[in-house]
Amino acid sequence: GAGVSQSPRYKVAKRGQDVALRCDPISGHVSLFWYQQALGQGPEFLTYFQNEAQLDKSGLPSDRFFAERPEGSVSTLKIQRTQQEDSAVYLCASSLDPESNQPQHFGDGTRLSIL
Amino acid sequence: KNEVEQSPQNLTAQEGEFITINCSYSVGISALHWLQQHPGGGIVSLFMLSSGKKKHGRLIATINIQEKHSSLHITASHPRDSAVYICAVEVSGGGADGLTFGKGTHLIIQP
């Protein structure tokens, strides 16, 4: 079956531009996570959705980062006024539901480069 | 200090060798994950465990909750096992809902 799909696969933007990254989770998955992975580092948590509700956004590095999941399925991570330090791989993961003790399924990520 | 520490950071071995990657954590957890990441970014979940031992093919994962330590073993290693192996934990008792990751172990298996 289809896994977690992220688009675009690669994104290059100039400093100051706004970008939008898309995540299509596995159908029926309630939980959705966004992570940021800097080069040579492990991923770091950004935000978590349960259906359309954003239950945890403690990992968002600044108010330039905004995430939404308006219908409880597709999610978008938006970064406004991008900075060079935003360059990273942005990973999306989904899992069936928070009570089912199921692993997270990861997308291939969006590699964002800010020039 | 990182909440999740992995060792070694880099490991190069010959095909057929028995591989061990270690993970130590400093917080209370509800589960620990071992993940595999290939060049290009895709992450695959290998194991999710909260106690004991799990085996899948040539991969074995163990966890000791009292010692806050987990190991990932690869038997009869093969060049296709070359990847970054990441340990991640679900922190119990509140805090962020996502996983907390180690920095990964870069494994290269030479033919």
pLDDT tens readout for residues A39-50: 888 999 999 999
Q: How far is CA B36 from each of CA B28, B43, B51, B80, rounded to the nearest angstrom? A: 23, 6, 20, 12
Minimum distance, in Å, between the CA of residue B33 and any CA atom of chain A: 8
Minimum distance, in Å, between the CA of residue B111 and any CA atom of chain A: 25
User: Which pLDDT value is given to residue B96?
Assistant: 54
The verdict on a CB contact (< 8 Å) between B97 and A89 is no
Under the banding of pLDDT at 50, 70 and 90, the label for residue A101 is confident
Q: Which of A18, A5, B92 is nearest to B100 (CA)?
A: B92
Residue A100 contacts B where some CB pair is shorter than 8 Å? no
Backbone angles phi, psi at B17, to 5 degrees: -70, 155
Contact status, residue A5 vs residue A24, Cβ threshold 8 Å: yes
Give me the residue from B45, B96, B104 closest to A103, CB to CB.
Answer: B45
Interface test with A, best of B99, B105, B106 (most A CBs within 10 A): B99
Under the banding of pLDDT at 50, 70 and 90, the label for residue B83 is very high
Does the pLDDT value for residue B94 go beyond 80? Answer: no
- The Cα A56–Cα A54 span in angstroms is 6
